[in-house]
Structure 1
Amino acid sequence: MTDKLWGGRFTAKAAKWVDQFGASIGFDQQMAQEDLEGSLAHVAMLGQQGIIPQADADTITAGLHQLQQQLAAGELTFTVANEDIHLNMERLLTDLIGPVAGKLHTARSRNDQVATDFHLWLRHRLPELMQALSDLQSVLVAQADQHADTIMPGYTHLQHAQPITYGHYLLAYFEMFQRDYERFAFNQQHTDILPLGAAALAGTTFPIDREFVAAQLGFSAVYHNSLDAVSDRDFALEFLSNAAILMQHLSRLAEELILWCTYEFNYIEMSDAFSTGSSIMPQKKNADFAELTRGKTGRVYGALMGLLTTMKSLPLAYNKDMQEDKEPVFDAYTTILGSVHIFTGMLDSLTVHEERMHDATIRDFSNATELADYLATKGVPFRKAHAIVGELVLHGLQTGQSLQDMPLADLQAAAPEIDQDVYAELSSEAAVNRRTSLGGTAVANVRQEVSQARALLAAR
């Protein structure tokens, strides 16, 4: 017989290296506090329901509280021999209060126990992540307000397209992170369901009270199917999917910031606190933290694909494969929380070269659409206006003239409808402020969106 808590029907011991391969204590010890929380709620129910004597429940509860204190003090030692956090805690409790500790496992299995721990772990951490996103959004709003009228090139295909404002640009990411926030808020709904009481897969013969346990642990609902309770990892997949989308947003922003602080763009400069240098080139100032976040995106994508692949063909109910569910979630959580904090500090401290941004819109022909729109208001069909302006752009490229520098006679030679008033509409400021349609880049729009964004954040 082995010395495992489950080893009654076994006659041979596994080799040490086999135990090490099968053990999860190396990572699931991160759920130690959640394991104790779940056990405290479970034993309270066992005592209340008369499933075990109240005196035994009180002894076990006292022992669990003592383990909580030791855990907080860093005094608990876990071993691979006890495989996972659940068996480690049971062994530690047994050493503390004796054989009565064995009654704690009445009417539960490690299958519903680990699912409960996992739900608790993520439920405890989602609010911290959502607060971090709110902090990042607050910085974006503050910067957007400050730069509501800072004109810069807007891009499509990484080519100058039309003038926008830096504030308008920042609010685009505010919207992305708002959707991220809402996805994690929805994720809470599926995390806030209690699996405990499903036992191994079929429920239990004991007269348990699952609603009592849910109330003790603060869950708003319980799983209504015992098979689903122990085999569901949708809440973890949702989290990783949300995390991957969040990292995609951060990676897009990182790419632009990396480009914009290069010598060629010079739109912004990173704070020294979020930059590094070169070991050989003294002049270098690298946007390493933006680059690192961009790189960590692949790590989070990998976590999502890994768990999707793990779960894709698993029959009901619990399978040992599902031991692979926690590491990617733990790692992704640490990665995205750190990345959000980095971007919050990085955006709050960077320097914006407003004049450089504005100057980049002067001779880039990004006002070509303004001229086409002008002609359309004069009755020229837009497709014809588009062709006329295209020819004027070609003429400007060949002669080194911008549209606003061309003599009126040259403009009228291409389109007699053009008059002197055209020049007032070809400035970058006019191009920006004429775009007052809902969602447009006009300064007044940006200020209104800033106000609405602040109201949204204040309501949380």
Structure 2
Amino acid sequence: MKLWTGRFSKEIDKKTNDFNSSISFDQRMYKEDITGSMVHATMLAAQGIISKKDEEQILKGLKGILEEIENGKLVIDPEAEDIHTFIEGELTKRIGDAGKRLHTSRSRNDQVALDLRLTLAHEVNAVVTQLEELLVVLCKQAKKYSDVVMPGYTHLQRAQPIVFGHHLLAYAEMFLRDLSRLKDAKSRMMNACPLGSGALAGTTYDIDRNMTAKTLGFDGPSQNSIDGVSDRDFCIEISSALSIIMVHLSRFSEEIILWCSYEFQFIELDDAFSTGSSIMPQKKNPDIAELVRGKSGRVFGDLMTLLTVMKGIPLAYNKDMQEDKEAIFDAVDTAKMCLTAFTPMLDTMKVKTENMRKAAAGGFINATDCADFLVNKGLPFRDAYKVTGELVALCIEKNLTLETLPLEEYKAVCDLFDEDLYTAINLEKCVNDRTCIGGPAPQNVINRATEIENDLS
């Protein structure tokens, strides 16, 4: 069944039909399509546009179709042009002329714009839930390792001492912003209902757009019928938010991959989230993290697809816009799949605290604290910086650390040094003293993790 056959004198070419069809990917919107149709039919009856009898038949028929699709009794026809055509055709087959009245005052243009919004609202909710689950795990692990000293890095060079919990909470802050972006995008998407926009110019029927908008969970109806059917920036915005999530997951995955390596040995992933080699029996590979890192590019590609599709098409609807669904659905599905694997991987990892502490002991990451010791003795910071740099060079020459360099060597460079220095550059003291807001002091980590947990609960 085609909804547009009246104008045409012959059947569409089979290959053209295959090319034109969207049923393979828009069938996932069957529930939203039926929901929108039920609300539309109820409004038509309330406005006297169709009879109450027609309404009752339509609602009963649509409920039956929904139930049979979900229990597997009704299989969606892969030869149908799209999900809207399939459901309307199936309804008409069951209830006759009443089914043909369902599309009164409606176009597939506003119908699909509605279905896509309703579908993505559910999908965004699912991703939000997954992000919240990830944040719970991050906070739990951050508290557990709030006092485990490790090197903080810049340029992938050891820089200053931090605690592992603080490092984990850096990602928690990123994912909190991701949550906010997704919720904002959903709010904008659901502030204007396109149903009633028609093909592009609304309708001459006396419809109640406020009724349908409120019933479907929107703030109100869209205020411009052309915009209502030609807008896909909500897809772009959600895809952008998902892309940023994938950036964060990819960066995190990269660090997990490094931390698992023999060169770092900071963590070990559970066997359930690792794989082996077909030829090297010793290998334990962080494939899950690598796949998450790799799949980020796929989501970025989906965003570029949407931007490219929309950038050059005139108002209002164009068939190019059929390409929106494959891109946004793939972005959603990929992000969800990555979060599904990533969260339990993080929850079950083994942290090698002794290796982190050992790495922190090397690399002179307490050099800034050594300089600050001199600043507290009255030396200007730039002079203290230069003195400490000379001491680092001396340590390298003698194969020592700042902790093991004898006091007389310190005094030979600057006579402001005394025995208190060794307390000042103790790594645990270095992190414990960083109590400023946002600093890595263990109690800061515990407090912030608790705040996040409370906000989520």
TM over 0.5: yes
Give the Cα separation in 1 of the matches to 2:226 and 2:165. Answer: 51
Q: Give the residue type in structure 1 aligned to 2:179.
A: Y
Please, which of 157, 179, 182 is the counterpart of residue 180 of structure 2? 182
Give the Cα separation in 2 of the matches to 1:239 and 1:286. Answer: 32
Q: Percent identity at matched positions?
A: 49
Give the Cα separation in 2 of the matches to 1:437 and 1:78. Answer: 60
Give the Cα separation in 2 of the matches to 1:82 and 1:450. Answer: 51
Give the Cα separation in 2 of the matches to 1:363 and 1:303. Answer: 43
Q: Which runs of 5+ in 1 are unaligned?
A: none
Q: Which runs of 5+ in 2 are unaligned?
A: none
* Per-residue Cα deviation, 1:252-307 (whole angstroms, up to 9, x for no partner): 00000000011110000000010001111111100000000000000000000000
Give the Cα separation in 1 of the matches to 2:203 and 2:147. Answer: 65
Matches within 5 A, 1:326-337: 326-337=325-336
Give the Cα separation in 1 of the matches to 2:326 and 2:147. Answer: 46
Pairwise CA distance, 1:129? 1.2
* Per-residue Cα deviation, 1:84-140 (whole angstroms, up to 9, x for no partner): 111111111111111321100000000000000001101122222111111100000
Give the Cα separation in 2 of the matches to 1:216 and 1:308. Answer: 31
| Cross-structure match for 1:275 | 274
Secondary structure at the aligned position of 1:280 is classed as coil
Give the Cα separation in 2 of the matches to 1:328 and 1:162. Answer: 42
Q: Give the residue type in structure 2 aligned to 1:321.
A: D
Kept after mapping to 1: 8 A contact 2:31/2:66: yes
Give the Cα separation in 2 of the matches to 1:451 and 1:61. Answer: 48
Kept after mapping to 2: 8 A contact 1:40/1:61: yes
Aligned residues: 456
| Cross-structure match for 1:117 | 115
2:259 is the alignment partner of 1:249: no
Q: Give the residue type in structure 2 aligned to 1:404.
A: E
Pairwise CA distance, 1:420? 1.0
- Over 3 Å counting, the alpha-carbon distance change for 1:81 and 1:131 in structure 2 is closer
Kept after mapping to 2: 8 A contact 1:63/1:97: yes
| Cross-structure match for 2:402 | 403
Kept after mapping to 1: 8 A contact 2:150/2:161: yes
| Cross-structure match for 1:304 | 303
Pairwise CA distance, 1:81? 4.4
Give the Cα separation in 2 of the matches to 1:81 and 1:456. Answer: 48
Pairwise CA distance, 1:79? 3.5
Give the Cα separation in 2 of the matches to 1:199 and 1:80. Answer: 26
| Cross-structure match for 1:285 | 284
Give the Cα separation in 1 of the matches to 2:3 and 2:366. Answer: 75
Please, which of 81, 84, 87 is the counterpart of residue 83 of structure 1? 81
TM-score, scaled relative to structure 1: 0.97
* Per-residue Cα deviation, 1:365-406 (whole angstroms, up to 9, x for no partner): 111111111111111111111111111111111110111111
Task: Return 182-191 or 443-452, whichever deviates more.
Answer: 443-452
Give the Cα separation in 1 of the matches to 2:426 and 2:262. Answer: 26
Matches within 5 A, 1:334-373: 334-373=333-372
Q: Give the residue type in structure 2 aligned to 1:17.
A: K
Give the Cα separation in 2 of the matches to 1:132 and 1:4. Answer: 40
| Cross-structure match for 1:173 | 171
Give the Cα separation in 2 of the matches to 1:29 and 1:397. Answer: 66
| Cross-structure match for 1:29 | 27
Matches within 5 A, 1:117-196: 117-192=115-190, 193-196=192-195
Secondary structure at the aligned position of 1:360 is classed as helix
Pairwise CA distance, 1:78? 3.2
Secondary structure at the aligned position of 2:153 is classed as strand
Pairwise CA distance, 1:82? 3.1
| Cross-structure match for 1:424 | 423
Secondary structure at the aligned position of 1:161 is classed as strand
Q: Give the residue type in structure 1 aligned to 2:24.
A: G
Give the Cα separation in 2 of the matches to 1:387 and 1:82. Answer: 75
Give the Cα separation in 1 of the matches to 2:3 and 2:453. Answer: 55
Please, which of 51, 54, 57 is the counterpart of residue 53 of structure 1? 51
Give the Cα separation in 2 of the matches to 1:9 and 1:444. Answer: 73
Give the Cα separation in 1 of the matches to 2:45 and 2:178. Answer: 42
Please, which of 2, 5, 23 is the counterpart of residue 4 of structure 1? 2
Q: Give the residue type in structure 1 aligned to 2:387.
A: I
Kept after mapping to 2: 8 A contact 1:180/1:245: yes
Give the Cα separation in 2 of the matches to 1:456 and 1:158. Answer: 33
Give the Cα separation in 2 of the matches to 1:66 and 1:363. Answer: 69
Kept after mapping to 1: 8 A contact 2:2/2:81: no
Give the Cα separation in 2 of the matches to 1:73 and 1:31. Answer: 16
Please, which of 98, 101, 104 is the counterpart of residue 99 of structure 2? 101
Give the Cα separation in 2 of the matches to 1:96 and 1:77. Answer: 15
Pairwise CA distance, 1:80? 5.0
Kept after mapping to 2: 8 A contact 1:404/1:423: yes
2:440 is the alignment partner of 1:448: no
Q: Give the residue type in structure 1 aligned to 2:365.
A: S
Q: Give the residue type in structure 2 aligned to 1:27.
A: F
| Cross-structure match for 2:68 | 70
Pairwise CA distance, 1:218? 2.1
Task: Return 91-100 or 409-418, whichever deviates more.
Answer: 91-100
| Cross-structure match for 1:228 | 227
| Cross-structure match for 2:90 | 92
| Cross-structure match for 2:386 | 387
Kept after mapping to 2: 8 A contact 1:136/1:341: no
Kept after mapping to 2: 8 A contact 1:20/1:80: no
Q: Give the residue type in structure 2 aligned to 1:445.
A: N
| Cross-structure match for 1:40 | 38
Secondary structure at the aligned position of 1:437 is classed as coil
Kept after mapping to 1: 8 A contact 2:69/2:76: no
Q: Give the residue type in structure 2 aligned to 1:219.
A: F
* Per-residue Cα deviation, 1:45-84 (whole angstroms, up to 9, x for no partner): 1111100111111111111111011111123333354311
Give the Cα separation in 1 of the matches to 2:80 and 2:359. Answer: 64
Secondary structure at the aligned position of 1:221 is classed as coil
Kindly report the root-mean-square deviation, in angstroms, between the aligned alpha carbons of the 2 structures.
1.1
Q: Give the residue type in structure 1 aligned to 2:141.
A: Q
Pairwise CA distance, 1:12? 2.8
TM-score, scaled relative to structure 2: 0.98
Kept after mapping to 2: 8 A contact 1:19/1:80: no
Give the Cα separation in 2 of the matches to 1:291 and 1:453. Answer: 28
Q: Give the residue type in structure 2 aligned to 1:403.
A: L
Secondary structure at the aligned position of 1:162 is classed as strand
